[in-house]
Copies of this chain bind each other. A is one copy, B any other.
């Protein structure tokens, strides 16, 4: 059994509980590959897990955080047909990505496009798979529809913005920070809403000829629920992928019924292998090629830090000052 270096959560707590330690890694079994991880993206879920609020699903290490990685195939198990040693791969996992080595099923891994640095590839999987799955697979966004994205400057937000524009949809993005909206304009955000009082439905309608948003990607949860439904067009679909603002709210069923609205919750982390593999295969076909130069998609990277600075990385994310992903790199 190989030994990896990894970020370990010694006990629930602040950034100071994160230590670089040695952990065992599973040998790749049938259909699996051992990845030598070059870099891993930092996610808000890592912060929650560190505080003890978001335990890893069964089958993943409880004390090693990390939901996405990019690296090279170091070894392949039996019956592996898709990869060989040296291939560059990236992907999401239920945990354990902040380690030098990681075992995943070959059908969960995505190819890293040529010309893309592994430190940038590490910023792709969680944000782009989450956004792609939510707005297309879950909500069925199509060309000509309007997408409303909250926290559009976040990793998932900037991914949704790029994916939806590429699909021919109108994108309306909200943020509480005006400077972040200006950065999003550089990524093609035409309809920016600076929201400071939780009101955006009227502005959304004004930007959509009175119709409202066909699809809404929400990370706020409770406090926005009623206003979210108000911002939706008839037959609008809202996908909730985060609850940064609160876990419950009054649902106006009358409006839901009369306007035929859909509210769906979604999370990638705890999905079974077959669903993650199906999503990875579809993403490989439909999205990965567009990360090639001129393809129209690019990960948004705030900074690349050495993995030894994982504590500082958590602190930076908690201050909410980043634009795009913080990536941690092994040296």
A240-254 residues with Cβ-Cβ distance < 8 A to B are 240-243, 246-254
Contact of B256 with A263 in the complex, beta carbons under 8 Å: yes
Contact of A254 with B243 in the complex, beta carbons under 8 Å: yes
Measured CA separation A247–B260 after assembly (Å): 14
Asked if A278 is at the interface of the complex by the 8 Å CB criterion, the answer is no
Contact of A247 with B240 in the complex, beta carbons under 8 Å: no
Identify which of A66-74, A166-174, A264-272, A310-318 touches chain B. Answer: A264-272
Q: A225-B253, A253-B249 are in contact. Are A263 and B262 (CB under 8 A)?
A: yes
The chain B residue with its CB closest to the CB of A245 is B253
Asked if A190 is at the interface of the complex by the 8 Å CB criterion, the answer is no
The chain B residue with its CB closest to the CB of A261 is B265
Contact of B253 with A265 in the complex, beta carbons under 8 Å: yes
Q: Which of B240, B260, B266 contacts A265 (CB 8 A)?
A: B260
Measured CA separation A218–B254 after assembly (Å): 13
Q: Which residues of B contact A221 (CB under 8 A)?
A: 253
Contact of B253 with A247 in the complex, beta carbons under 8 Å: yes
Question: What's the dominant secondary structure at chain A's contact region?
Answer: mixed
The chain B residue with its CB closest to the CB of A251 is B251
Q: Which residues of B contact A243 (CB under 8 A)?
A: 253-254, 257
Measured CA separation A112–B205 after assembly (Å): 43
Q: Which residues of B contact A261 (CB under 8 A)?
A: 264-265
Asked if A259 is at the interface of the complex by the 8 Å CB criterion, the answer is yes
Q: Which residues of B contact A253 (CB under 8 A)?
A: 221-222, 225, 240, 243, 246-249, 265
| Shortest beta-carbon distance from A148 to chain B in Å | 17
When each residue 207-246 of chain A gets 1 if its CB lies under 8 Å from chain B and 0 otherwise, what string results?
0000000000000011001000000000000001111001
Q: A221-B253, A248-B250, A253-B225 are in contact. Are A263 and B260 (CB under 8 A)?
A: no
Measured CA separation A62–B102 after assembly (Å): 67
| Shortest beta-carbon distance from A21 to chain B in Å | 29
Q: Which residues of B contact A256 (CB under 8 A)?
A: 240, 263-265
The chain B residue with its CB closest to the CB of A270 is B258
When each residue 317-329 of chain A gets 1 if its CB lies under 8 Å from chain B and 0 otherwise, what string results?
0000000000000
Q: Which residues of A contact B (CB under 8 A)?
A: 221-222, 225, 240-243, 246-267, 270
Pairs A–B under 8 Å by Cβ, sample size 26: A221-B253, A225-B251, A225-B253, A240-B253, A241-B257, A247-B252, A247-B254, A248-B252, A248-B254, A249-B250, A251-B263, A256-B264, A257-B265, A257-B266, A257-B267, A258-B267, A258-B270, A260-B264, A260-B265, A260-B266, A260-B267, A261-B265, A262-B263, A262-B264, A262-B265, A263-B264
Q: Which 10 A-B pairs have the closest CB atoms?
A: A256-B265, A257-B265, A251-B251, A262-B264, A247-B254, A263-B263, A221-B253, A248-B252, A247-B253, A260-B266
